[in-house]
């Protein structure tokens, strides 16, 4: 029986995780669920999964949740704040933590889980983008098992030899082929990109996801963040990672070996597959995902990424090559710009412009500890906010 903390349980990944968990009451118990402020859904989840703790970040939401928990007579505590997120991530009773908070807010609790040696199911890619070396050092030091949940990284993990430790040469790995759907604007005429709306950006052709990652997919910043994520997870350099646009999203990524073999992982585009893999690893369990109908897929296409159409992807490669605090700054400027785009304060094409200006303006420092990352994150947020006008 695994005792789970699910950070961000009300989100797209969080609800998919609970869907898988509900299929296996003999294997998983929920210790804690957390959300920013979605009281209704969090309460419903607490009634169904009976955790010991629920954590909310918004003060009004905490008060509402406490009233509802009391009225319903649930035997649980409602906590608030970032410290509480850390507490439920590192608690002695917890075996595994699903890190599914969106954005930089996921960093502290995910790092807490790593320091406490928990099994980590990592969906929050921003943790690795911001603080890759700090996080990976914590994982190594504590002996945490780290299971990538991002579908591409989960595919790569499955296609690598079991126990791969980052030594590409001894594993015979030549390169990583990271697939990308190309998002909803893959074929949109360039002159129309300026006027696309948040609703259009969030209407992803293959995946249903939270709004921030949906915009990132439309700009291909998501793939850029994933290149950086792959760098830290698999010890691959920017040159070792080739992005491949594959609009059908059936192949979730591939690993090429020195003998010319290429191993891919395929499946329906449904996050419950990588989630179930991470939850049960090294076993396999039912995820609720149906069979892949190859006859229905029929054709698969592959094209090289267009860096002119998707400048965010080029900016992410550049930040990875620059290293130090550059990826943290890229991530922070992107979060500010995406939020402004979702609020209709800037256009879609302003997103890469703001990020580029922030990266050109600020000086990059080496990352020795978490504080270096948090400082760079704050500086980049201030710089990006100043450009919103």
Distance CA 8, CA 49 (A): 15
Binder of ligand NAD out of 4, 107, 115, 150 (CB under 6 A):
150
Q: Which residue among 271, 346, 355, 358 contacts ligand NAD (CB under 6 A)?
A: 271
Instruction: Please choose which of ligand NAD, Mg ion, none residue 202 contacts, taking the beta carbon within 5 to 8 angstroms, the exact cut-off set by kind.
Output: none
160 binds, among ligand NAD, Mg ion, none (CB under 5 to 8 A by kind): none
Please choose which of ligand NAD, Mg ion, none residue 131 contacts, taking the beta carbon within 5 to 8 angstroms, the exact cut-off set by kind: none
> Binders of ligand NAD: how many residues, by CB under 6 A?
26
Position among 52, 64, 90, 124 found at the interface with ligand NAD (CB under 6 A): 124
Task: State the nearest-atom distance from the C-beta of 122 to ligand NAD, in Å.
Answer: 9
307 binds, among ligand NAD, Mg ion, none (CB under 5 to 8 A by kind): none
Among ligand NAD, Mg ion, none, partner that 224 touches (CB below 5 to 8 angstroms by kind): none
Closest residue (Cβ) to Mg ion? Answer: 150
Q: Is 32 in the site for ligand NAD (CB under 6 A)?
A: no
288 binds ligand NAD (CB under 6 A): no
* CB closest to ligand NAD, residue no: 11
- Cβ nearer to ligand NAD, comparing 220 with 362: 220
Asked if 36 touches ligand NAD (CB under 6 A), the answer is yes
Judge whether 328 and 232 are in contact, CB under 8 Å.
no
Least distance between ligand NAD and beta carbon 45 (Å): 10
Nearest to 179 by CA among 201, 202, 206: 206
- Is 105 a residue that touches ligand NAD (CB under 6 A)? yes
Minimum Å gap between C-beta 152 and Mg ion is 5
Q: How far is the CB of 173 from ligand NAD (least distance, A)?
A: 23
Yes or no: say if 112 and 134 are a contact pair by the CB < 8 Å rule: no
User: Exactly one of 79, 102, 241, 330 binds ligand NAD (CB under 6 A); which one?
Assistant: 102
Report the nearest approach of Mg ion to the CB of residue 150 (Å).
4
Does residue number 8 form part of the binding site for ligand NAD (CB under 6 A)? yes
Q: Does 241 bind ligand NAD (CB under 6 A)?
A: no
Q: Which residue from 4, 14, 53, 217 is in contact with ligand NAD, where contact means CB under 6 A?
A: 14
Region near ligand NAD per CB under 6 A, out of 119-127, 235-243, 251-259, 304-312: 119-127
Where does this chain bind Mg ion (CB under 5 A)?
Answer: 150-152
The DSSP bridge partners found for residue 242 are: 177
Establish if 339 lies at the interface with ligand NAD (CB under 6 A).
Answer: no
- For the chain, what is the HEC assignment? CEEEEEECCCCHHHHHHHHHHHCCCCCEEEEEEEECCCHHHHHHHHHHHCCCEEEECCHHHHHHHHHHHHHHCCCCEEEECHHHHHHHHHCCCCCEEEECCCCHHHHHHHHHHHHCCCEEEECCHHHHHHHHHHHHHHHHHHCCCEEECCHHHHHHHHHCCCCCCCCHHHHCEEEEEEEECCCCCCCCCHHHHHHCCHHHHHCCCCCCCCHHHHHHHHHCHHHHHHHHHHHHHHCCCHHHEEEEECCCCCEEEEEEECCCCEEEEECCCCCHHHHHHHHHCCCCCCCCCCCCCHHHHCCCCCECCCCCCCHHHHHHHHHHHHCCCHHHHHHHHHHHHHHHHHCCCCCCCHHHHHHHHHHHHCCCCCCCCHHHHHHHHHHHHHHHHHCCC
User: With contact defined as beta carbons under 8 Å apart, do 47 and 41 qualify?
Assistant: no
- Which residue's CB is nearer to ligand NAD, number 128 or number 362? 128
Distance CA 104, CA 346 (A): 21
Give the one residue of 210, 318, 357, 372 binding ligand NAD; rule: CB under 6 A.
210
Name the nearest CA neighbour of 164 among 255, 234, 259: 234
Q: Is 126 in the site for ligand NAD (CB under 6 A)?
A: yes
Residues of this chain that bind ligand NAD (CB under 6 A):
8-14, 35-36, 38, 57, 100-102, 105, 123-126, 150, 207, 209-210, 212-213, 271
């Amino acid at each position: 029986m695994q005792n789970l903390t699910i950070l961000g349980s009300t989100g797209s990944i969080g609800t998919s995780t609970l869907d898988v968990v509900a299929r296996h009451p003999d294997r998983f118990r929920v210790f804690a669920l957390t959300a920013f402020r979605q009281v209704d859904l969090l309460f419903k989840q607490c009634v169904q999964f009976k955790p010991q703790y629920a954590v909310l970040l918004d003060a009004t939401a905490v008060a509402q949740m406490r009233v509802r928990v009391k009225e319903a007579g649930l035997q649980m505590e409602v906590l608030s704040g970032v410290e509480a997120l850390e507490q439920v991530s590192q608690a002695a009773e917890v075996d595994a933590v699903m890190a599914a908070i969106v954005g930089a807010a996921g960093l502290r609790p995910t790092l807490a889980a790593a320091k406490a040696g928990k099994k980590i199911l990592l969906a929050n890619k921003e943790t690795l983008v911001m603080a890759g070396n700090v996080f990976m050092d914590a994982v190594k030091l504590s002996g945490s098992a780290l299971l990538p949940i991002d579908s591409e990284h989960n595919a790569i993990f499955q296609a690598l030899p079991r126990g791969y430790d980052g030594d590409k040469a001894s594993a015979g790995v030549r390169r990583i082929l990271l697939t990308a759907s190309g998002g909803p604007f893959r074929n949109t005429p360039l002159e129309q990109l300026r006027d696309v709306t948040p609703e259009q950006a969030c209407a992803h052709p293959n995946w249903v996801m939270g709004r921030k990652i949906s915009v990132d997919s439309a700009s291909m910043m998501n793939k850029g963040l994933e290149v950086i994520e792959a760098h830290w997870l698999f010890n691959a350099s920017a040159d070792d990672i080739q992005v491949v646009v594959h609009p059908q999203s059936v192949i979730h990524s591939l690993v090429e070996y020195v003998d010319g073999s290429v191993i891919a992982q395929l499946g329906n585009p449904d996050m419950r597959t990588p989630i179930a893999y991470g939850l049960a690893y090294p076993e396999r369990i039912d995820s609720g995902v149906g069979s892949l109908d190859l006859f229905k897929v029929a054709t698969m296409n592959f094209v090289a990424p267009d860096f002119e159409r998707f400048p965010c992807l080029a900016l992410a490669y550049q930040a990875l090559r620059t290293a130090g605090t550059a990826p943290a700054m890229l991530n922070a400027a992107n979060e500010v710009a995406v939020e402004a785009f979702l609020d209709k304060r800037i256009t879609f094409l302003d997103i890469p412009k703001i990020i580029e200006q922030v990266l050109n303006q600020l000086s990059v420092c080496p990352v020795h500890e978490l504080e270096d990352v948090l400082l760079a994150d704050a500086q980049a947020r201030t710089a990006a906010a100043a450009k919103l006008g």
